[in-house]
Structure formats: structure tokens, C-alpha cells
Chain A
Amino acid sequence: EPEVTQTPSHQVTQMGQEVILRCVPISNHLYFYWYRQILGQKVEFLVSFYNNEISEKSEIFDDQFSVERPDGSNFTLKIRSTKLEDSAMYFCASSRRTSGMENTFGSGTRLTVV
């Protein structure tokens, strides 16, 4: 069964450092998403991406965050200058359509900012 692959599974970084979280969505999917889950809380939407541009972003997704699809297979989330409150599990997801189709999630990257 096709999978969404995320790397790394865990990352520890110092406050103020840049991090890049990587995702390989399912190959025939067209819509890509990043979600965040702070420990003990619910999963929150960050951003959706379609046709090489952001289609929607949440209030959480401020200027410190960016996404890109550099080579047609990878989908990355960059945090420019990490803060302690960025510590969370980050999930990538993809789907073939925006509706009428399930979203497939990756296993997540646990980011710890120290």
C-alpha cells in the first residue's frame, strides 16, 4: 500500500536554528498538507499546497514557516528560527482530491527545540 514518508522521525535542535522537515507524498497525489500536534493536544492544520503554491494556511503558519516542493517528489516544511513553542509532532499528509478522498498521513517528525 502506498505510504507517505517523513524524515527524520526525531529531530532535536537549538532555539534559533533553522530546521527542514521532509516528506515524500504518494506519487499520484496532488494535494499536500502539514499539520502540527503539540504534546497532549489535538492535531492542527498548518498549510495546504497545490499546483506549486500555498492554497490555504492557518494563523500558526507565520513568516517563520515556509513550504516548497523542490523536485516534484519531496515536500518540505522549513522553520527559519525555531522557538521553544515549535516543539511538536509535525505530520505531512497528501490526497488526490480536496474532497471525496481520504488524506493519507505520514508517521510524523517529532521536533524538540531546546
Chain B
Amino acid sequence: GIQVEQSPPDLILQEGANSTLRCNFSDSVNNLQWFHQNPWGQLINLFYIPSGTKQNGRLSATTVATERYSLLYISSSQTTDSGVYFCAVVGSSNTGKLIFGQGTTLQVKP
């Protein structure tokens, strides 16, 4: 099945810094979503981005489907950005299930 690899596994930033999280996937996809898991365990959908670029405030994401990767950019990070960021994909040949990466754990220090 499709493999999803996220890097880095852990990231520590000072408040105000910028960061880039990467998601590589091993096959073509019909769907790619970025999630933020908050300290209460909730999965917050950040972007639905199977291709192209989107921006939402301090966050933006780019997916280059032909090269099988996606990037999540966080600018001017805040302590509330801390948590785990997951990339998840739906492969082109399955029934819609999302395959999740292992996540990037981000800690933003004040």
C-alpha cells in the first residue's frame, strides 16, 4: 500500500520563527490533507490540498503531486501552534480511506 513519510519527526522552535514540514508519499493520490492534533487530541483539518498551493493566515501548504510531496509552512510561530501535525493521503486506487504519516511533533517555546 501507499507509504507516507513525514519529516522532521520532532521540531522545537522559538516563538516567532518560521518552519517547514514535509510529507512524502509513495504513489499518486486523490486526496491529501494536513491536520493539527491539539493537546486535547482533536484532529483539526488545516488543508485539503491534493495539488497546488493554499494559504490560511500564517499557514500555507503546497503539494507537488507529480513529485509526490507536500509542504506545510508555518510562519511567525506561536505557542498555540504546538502539537502534532499529520499528513494523510487517499491513494488513487482505494475506497477513500486516509493513510496517515507518523506526524511531526512541534514545540514552540515562548
Residues of A within 8 A of B (CB): 31, 33, 35, 37, 42-45, 48, 50, 55-56, 89, 91, 93, 95, 97-105, 107-108, 110
Contact = CB atoms under 8 A, between A and B. Distances in A.
B42 A103 contact: no
Given A37-B41, A56-B95, A56-B97, 17 more contacts: A33-B96, A43-B43, A43-B86, A43-B88, A45-B99, A48-B97, A97-B96, A98-B94, A99-B30, A100-B30, A101-B48, A103-B31, A103-B90, A103-B96, A104-B45, A105-B43, A110-B41
Contacts of A35: 98
Given A99-B90, A102-B31, A108 B99 contact: no
Given A43-B86, A107-B42, A108-B42, A56 B94 contact: yes
10 contacts: A43-B86, A56-B94, A89-B41, A97-B96, A99-B90, A100-B31, A100-B50, A103-B90, A105-B43, A108-B43
Nearest to B42: A107
A48 B96 contact: yes
Contacts of B95: 48, 50, 55-56, 98
Interface string B91-103: 0101111111111
Interface in B27-85: 30-31, 33, 35, 41-43, 45, 48, 50
Interface of B: 30-31, 33, 35, 41-43, 45, 48, 50, 86, 88, 90, 92, 94-103
Interface of A is mostly: strand
A90 to B, nearest CB: 11
A51 to B, nearest CB: 12
Contacts of A93: 98
A35 B33 CA distance: 15
Contacts of B33: 102-103
A31 B99 CA distance: 16
